[in-house]
Chains A and B, each alone.
Chain A
Amino acid sequence: AQKVTQAQTEISVVEKEDVTLDCVYETRDTTYYLFWYKQPPSGELVFLIRRNSFDEQNEISGRYSWNFQKSTSSFNFTITASQVVDSAVYFCALSELTQGGSEKLVFGKGTKLTVNP
């Protein structure tokens, strides 16, 4: 079965520090998708990014960047110059095809990021 490991349970940084959230995955599929979601204190998960297994280009969106490396089965997320509003729980997720041919997401356990002023 697919598996997603987020080894960092909690991270605490001071504002303006850079922080990297690690995500390691296991899959037998040759085609798969990886996702990052943010869960602020309000509770609703917000989609941040999707990557497919054939696209290893890194991506940057403002202060956010993502590093996908198939060789190490990792999809890490870096926040540059962190801000208090970045405080949230961040989840990495991996797509998995079901026996019925549908697709579901397998989530890691999440990393709680606290950015202190």
Chain B
Amino acid sequence: DVKVTQSSRYLVKRTGEKVFLECVQDMDHENMFWYRQDPGLGLRLIYFSYDVKMKEKGDIPEGYSVSREKKERFSLILESASTNQTSMYLCASSFRIRGTEAFFGQGTRLTVV
């Protein structure tokens, strides 16, 4: 079974903290994605990576950065967390083949206080 694992299910951080969200996949997928999910807004893409050390901005990259040092791991970094970054964060991965489905992790619910 494909497995996409996010390091935390729930996280509470203080405003201004640097926050790391980690995601690991075990299927040798080239693509990895970070989305955030907010009520009424659906899933919005923050960043994605199509190879080690490669990344592309998504639709809402402001306030975030990412790191992909190994193929199986994709980290989302909030340099200075703010309350408007309180959200559900979803990691996904897929093969770099047109039309292939993405597999999702269980999500990290981040609360910034």
Chain A residues close to B by CB (< 8 Å): 6, 9, 31, 33, 35, 37, 42-47, 50, 52, 91, 95, 98-100, 102-110
Within 8 A of A (CB), among B50-89: 50, 56, 58, 88
Q: For the complex, what is the distance from the CA of A104 to the CA of B35, rounded to whole Å?
A: 11
CA distance A106 to B58 in the complex (A): 10
B interface, CB within 8 angstroms of A? 31, 33, 35, 40-45, 48, 50, 56, 58, 88, 90, 92, 96, 98-99, 101-107
Given contacts A43-B88, A44-B106, A50-B99, contact A104 B58 (CB under 8 A): yes
Q: Contacts A50-B101, A91-B43, A109-B41: A102 and B50 contacting too (C-beta < 8 A)?
A: yes
- With A43-B107, A102-B31 known to touch, is A110 a contact of B42 (CB < 8 Å)? yes
A-side contacts of B44, CB under 8 Å: 107
Q: Is the CB of B98 within 8 A of A95?
A: yes
Instruction: Determine the chain B residues whose CB is within 8 A of the CB of A110 once the complex forms.
Output: 42-43
Across the two chains, which residue of chain A brings its CB closest to B50?
A102
Residues of B within 8 A of A47 (CB): 101-103
Residue among A9, A46, A98 with most chain B CB within 10 A: A98
Contacts of B50 in A (CB 8 A): 100, 102
CB distance from B83 to the nearest CB of A (A): 22
Check B56–A98 contact: CB distance below 8 A: yes
Q: Closest CB-CB distance, B68 to chain A, in whole Å? A: 13
When the two chains form their complex, are residues B48 and A109 in contact, meaning their CB atoms are under 8 A apart? Answer: no
Which listed residue (B35, B48, B99) contacts A33, Cβ 8 A?
A: B99
Q: In whole angstroms, how far apart are the Cα atoms of A43 and B50 in the complex?
A: 25
A29 to B70, CA, bound (A): 32
Contact of A45 with B104 at beta-carbon distance under 8 Å, contacts A107-B43, A109-B40 already known: yes
